[in-house]
Amino acid sequence: KDGLADGGISSIVQDSSGFLWIGNENGLSRFDGHTFKIYRYNQLDTNSLRENRIRSLFIDAKKHLWIMTFHWLYLYHPEGEWFEHFGIERFTPDILTKICAEENGQIIITGRKALYKFDERQKKFSFFYQEGMASQPFGEYKKDEDGIEWICSGKGLLRYDPKTKKGTIIDSTLLVVDM
- CA–centroid distance for 155 within its chain: 20
- State the pTM of this model: 0.85
Q: Are 99 and 66 in contact (CB under 8 A)?
A: yes
Q: Measured in Å, how far apart are the chain's first and last C-alpha atoms?
A: 47
**pLDDT at position 59:** 97
**Burial class of residue 32, CB neighbours in 10 A (0-12, 13-18, 19+):** exposed
Residues of the chain with confidence (pLDDT) below 50: 176-177
pLDDT for residue 154? 78
Task: Please give the Cα distance from 6 to 58 (Å, whole number).
Answer: 21
pLDDT value at position 160? Answer: 86
